[in-house]
Structure 1
Amino acid sequence: MASAPADSQWVVAWGASPQNALSSSEDPGGHEQSFRFMILPTIGATEERVHFSNYFGTTPITIGSARLAVALTAASTPAIDATHDAPLTFNGSTSVTLQPNQEIDSDPVKVTYTFGQWLAVSMYLKGTFPPLTEHDSQVSNNFETPDGAGDTTTDSAGTSFTENPPEWFLMTSVEAYGPYAGTVAFFGSSSVDGHNSDYGSGNSYPISNVFVPTQNNDRPTDWLARSLNTAGYSLGVLNAGLLGNPAGEDAMTSGGSSIAGIDRFKHDVLEQPGIKSVIVYTGGVDLRIDCVSASAVEASLTNIVAQASAAGVRVILATIPPAEYCTTDALVPTAADPYNGDINPGPENPGSTQRRAVNAWIRTTGSQLPGVVAIADFDQAMAYPAHPDFLMPTFYTTDNFHPNGMGYGVQNSAIPLPSLLPQ
């Protein structure tokens, strides 16, 4: 068990990196509208603040009112507990206007909840607003009113919230104050964000597993939070994963909507409160979609580790599990040959060849970089011994490179918890 923290500090209880503010059917902009976002914190708390971000915005956005409450159910309905519901203020005001690229913390409130309870952040946007800085929610329901419904943030029953956007808008973290040991960040792409974590494990590859509606928070940070809580660690966990996010600029895909990992790491991880350590798990997008070389991924990882080391943040470097095959190559799985491109029997997809080289570098050179305190060998934990360029068959969902909920749990078991803090 970890030693008890000494002094109270702000840590991240829940977080989601800002992704973009691109116009879409889910993020069209609006007028006089309220939202209710459902989150599962990684630690219990008695004092909180909410962080709002107009990071990608190009016009001012006015939050007319906002609230933090304990949710009545596990994100399945918008109902909240009116006895554990507090209005948020900003320097004493119930309203705040965020300028383009501006971010702000609410004033602290005291809402008591325990580990495992869900929270709801309600927000009313005043006037007309464009597409908002958002994060595409992979794993939970959120709620909004119809356009023009006005301020319904005090609606505890939630009947006014009749629509279900798959995004968290403007809100990028809920932070807690108390005698915590700090925050650990999990940094990477969609496999950190928890894509396909709500799929079961009843089938085996190549038969797809199916969506499980109640399994909506088995993503890596939720598994890690449960492990830390069980082991007695008092650490908040920040999810800094972004869908389709490459590690390096040389791998920015055409039309990509997120900043390269090396460029967003400072803002999305190092500038967050209480950061003590980070699990760096990135590079798969570079290898799979953009088909870059192992040396390019290694350079990006070296850059990220150097940034963390300079800030005094401990790094656990994760290997990249299968199947990170290069999608522009012919050696990819097909219905007729589901293991096409595997090293056994070969020929191997070039993306998998490069992944093997990256993992060999992580286990040797990467593990010795200043600031790296341990390796999380996700590849060893997840690979199918009979076909090592593929995930274990029961981890298969629909794409063969995002694990299901059980797969994320097995991956979590490879994280050396004692390395997250100095001994």
Structure 2
Amino acid sequence: MPEQARDRRRYEVLASSSGICDPGHLSGKLWWRRLYGNARADPTPTPTPVQRWVTAWADAPSDAFGPASSEQTFREIVKPTVGSRGTVRLHFSNFFGTMPVTIGAAHVGIKGTGAAVSHDVAVTFGGAASVTIPAGGYATSDQVAMTFAYGDVLAVTEYVKGSWTALTEHNQAGSNVTSYATAANAGDKTADAVGASFTGTIFNTFLLDRVDVYGAYAGTIATFGSSTTDGIASGRDQHMTYPEQLAAALHAAGRDDVAIANVGIAGTQVLGTDPTAGVNRFARDVTALPGVTGVIDYLGANDLRGACVKAETLIAGKQSIAAQARAAGLKLYLATTAPSTFCGAQNPSGFGSRFAEAPGEEAQRFLINGWVVSTQPSTVNGTAVQPPGADAIIDFNGALVDPANRSYMKPTYDSGDDIHPNPSGYAAMVAAIPLSLF
């Protein structure tokens, strides 16, 4: 099927599932823009790589984790989304901490087997081997001379000196990546290249929230969302989250100048007073990223599913995020919401039993998706709303939805919980993203 015909059919499925209009009434640039924004109808030049810092890897802080401990060393395993050009730095967050925390020593190298590391180098902070990060604060290391290729996996080792009640972390709800820890009170083991001191495994990331690289890059694209962005059910240590598969697709297309920063946090919503609500963390987790030029917004399913938020209320929150993106000069790539269960319940009969196309959350999701692709003011549940004004639309719903029952994703893409895709589903999401956007 020719590309335009295939994409028109994808739009027709989206339009039908959203109830926005009769797609037969759309023609030419109109239906194309509703699917892709202006990205293909009015192509913009690819950003020219310039010498800059970009975020090669990210894990947005989600909370502070206990129990209390002391004198412990952690070896965090991370896979950058671009190769380095020879210069690297590390960024640490104590955002959720209630007391200062001291990193007594830090190293970065290439991961070997298990907790082993090679090409390991010490990292300094203002010329010193250690740094104390105040409660709520951050620390950036000095730059390190280090070269690695796309596909290399890094080991960042940090000795946390003294004692603490809890450490700021990124909670990997899906336990996607195995990292390592010494026993409490083992002391500074950052120079242990063999890894024998690292007798424990962990699945959260403590303090470390970014690996930055410097060189000729086009920029950083942030992927903003909840557990599907974070990558639940993507396979332990497989690095098959949708942001990582997007990075692989860009690399395969010869675009090793575009970094992808995964700032998804499981369980988060657009709305709320919590620090992890999208409207509250966007500046901290997206606009603060070095070299950020654009953001894929795929946040909101938890508002629909868990909080049973009405579409017009969620739209107001999404508009706040869009306004923050525009104020920061970022390209906004807005994604349609794929099926993710009934409002307030998984389904009437439990896993393995499908309900008919549903009301409740699903009715609101259809309305949200109709708004996402809208280009004119409209009315949602009796409330006047403005179109999102995104630079492009990414149709994750069209990529994942089961056309036989639009309240579910395709069974071949379902991880088994009716919410999260499996690795093939994450690949389908990436296939729906035109790489020409970046």
**TM-score normalised per structure 1:** 0.87
- Contact 2:319–2:388 (CA<8 Å) still a contact in 1? no
Q: What SS is found at the alignment partner of 1:140?
A: coil
Q: For residue 182 of structure 2, what is the aligned residue in structure 1?
A: 145
Deviations 1:76-120 (CA, angstroms, capped at 9, x unpaired): x11111xx1110100000011011111011000012110001000
Q: Tell me the distance in 1 between the aligned counterparts of 2:389 and 2:73.
A: 44
Pair 1:197 & 2:234 matched: yes
Among 215, 221, 224, the residue aligned to 1:178: 215
Pair 1:375 & 2:393 matched: yes
Residue ranges of structure 1 left out of the alignment (5+ in a row):
199-212
- The residue type paired with residue 110 of structure 1 is A
Among 32, 37, 47, the residue aligned to 2:87: 47
Q: For residue 290 of structure 1, what is the aligned residue in structure 2?
A: 307
Instruction: Give % identity.
Output: 38
Among 302, 312, 317, the residue aligned to 1:300: 317
Q: For residue 423 of structure 2, what is the aligned residue in structure 1?
A: 405
Deviations 1:268-287 (CA, angstroms, capped at 9, x unpaired): 00011000000000110000
C-alpha displacement of 1:383: 0.4
Q: For residue 203 of structure 1, what is the aligned residue in structure 2?
A: none
Q: For residue 344 of structure 2, what is the aligned residue in structure 1?
A: 327
Q: What SS is found at the alignment partner of 1:409?
A: helix
Pair 1:239 & 2:262 matched: yes
More displaced 10-residue stretch of structure 1: 126-135 or 360-369: 360-369
- The residue type paired with residue 37 of structure 1 is E
Q: Tell me the distance in 1 between the aligned counterparts of 2:340 and 2:230.
A: 17
C-alpha displacement of 1:396: 1.7
C-alpha displacement of 1:323: 2.5
Q: For residue 338 of structure 1, what is the aligned residue in structure 2?
A: 353
CA shift in 2, pair 1:159/1:336, >3 Å: closer
Q: Tell me the distance in 2 between the aligned counterparts of 1:120 and 1:337.
A: 40
C-alpha displacement of 1:324: 3.8
- The residue type paired with residue 36 of structure 1 is R
Mapping 1:126-137, distance limit 5 Å: 126-137=161-172
- The residue type paired with residue 364 of structure 2 is Q
- The residue type paired with residue 305 of structure 2 is R
Q: Tell me the distance in 2 between the aligned counterparts of 1:337 and 1:314.
A: 40
CA shift in 2, pair 1:169/1:318, >3 Å: same
Q: Tell me the distance in 2 between the aligned counterparts of 1:395 and 1:43.
A: 27
Q: For residue 388 of structure 1, what is the aligned residue in structure 2?
A: 406
- Contact 1:64–1:124 (CA<8 Å) still a contact in 2? yes
Deviations 1:352-411 (CA, angstroms, capped at 9, x unpaired): 111011001101149985762110000011000111110101112231110001100001
- The residue type paired with residue 217 of structure 1 is H
Deviations 1:236-265 (CA, angstroms, capped at 9, x unpaired): 11001001000111xx7xxxx752101100
Q: Tell me the distance in 2 between the aligned counterparts of 1:265 and 1:399.
A: 28
Q: Tell me the distance in 1 between the aligned counterparts of 2:398 and 2:332.
A: 19
Q: What SS is found at the alignment partner of 2:198?
A: coil
Q: For residue 209 of structure 1, what is the aligned residue in structure 2?
A: none
Deviations 1:285-315 (CA, angstroms, capped at 9, x unpaired): 0000111101111111111011001111000
Q: For residue 34 of structure 2, what is the aligned residue in structure 1?
A: none
- The residue type paired with residue 109 of structure 1 is V
Pair 1:115 & 2:150 matched: yes
Among 44, 50, 62, the residue aligned to 1:7: 50
- Contact 1:373–1:419 (CA<8 Å) still a contact in 2? no
- Contact 1:192–1:219 (CA<8 Å) still a contact in 2? yes
Q: For residue 238 of structure 2, what is the aligned residue in structure 1?
A: 216
Pair 1:61 & 2:101 matched: yes
Q: For residue 359 of structure 2, what is the aligned residue in structure 1?
A: 349
- Contact 2:183–2:199 (CA<8 Å) still a contact in 1? yes
Mapping 1:253-264, distance limit 5 Å: 259-264=276-281
CA shift in 2, pair 1:79/1:413, >3 Å: same
Deviations 1:9-40 (CA, angstroms, capped at 9, x unpaired): 00000001010114xxxx31311110000001
CA shift in 2, pair 1:105/1:371, >3 Å: farther
- The residue type paired with residue 49 of structure 1 is R
Q: For residue 226 of structure 1, what is the aligned residue in structure 2?
A: 248
**TM-score normalised per structure 2:** 0.84
CA shift in 2, pair 1:59/1:168, >3 Å: same
Q: Tell me the distance in 1 between the aligned counterparts of 2:341 and 2:303.
A: 9
C-alpha displacement of 1:3: 5.1
Count of residue pairs brought into register by the alignment = 383
Pair 1:35 & 2:53 matched: no
Q: Tell me the distance in 2 between the aligned counterparts of 1:378 and 1:4.
A: 25
- Contact 2:167–2:206 (CA<8 Å) still a contact in 1? yes
- Contact 2:95–2:168 (CA<8 Å) still a contact in 1? yes
C-alpha displacement of 1:216: 2.5
Deviations 1:106-149 (CA, angstroms, capped at 9, x unpaired): 00001211000100000001111121000013310010000010
Q: Tell me the distance in 1 between the aligned counterparts of 2:280 and 2:259.
A: 24
- Which 4+ stretches in 1 moved above 6 angstroms? none
Q: For residue 12 of structure 2, what is the aligned residue in structure 1?
A: none
- Contact 2:375–2:388 (CA<8 Å) still a contact in 1? no
Q: What SS is found at the alignment partner of 1:47?
A: strand
C-alpha displacement of 1:179: 0.3
- Contact 2:371–2:388 (CA<8 Å) still a contact in 1? no
Pair 1:168 & 2:202 matched: no
Q: What SS is found at the alignment partner of 2:50?
A: coil
C-alpha displacement of 1:337: 7.3
Residue ranges of structure 2 left out of the alignment (5+ in a row):
1-43, 378-385
- Contact 2:46–2:436 (CA<8 Å) still a contact in 1? no
- The residue type paired with residue 314 of structure 1 is K
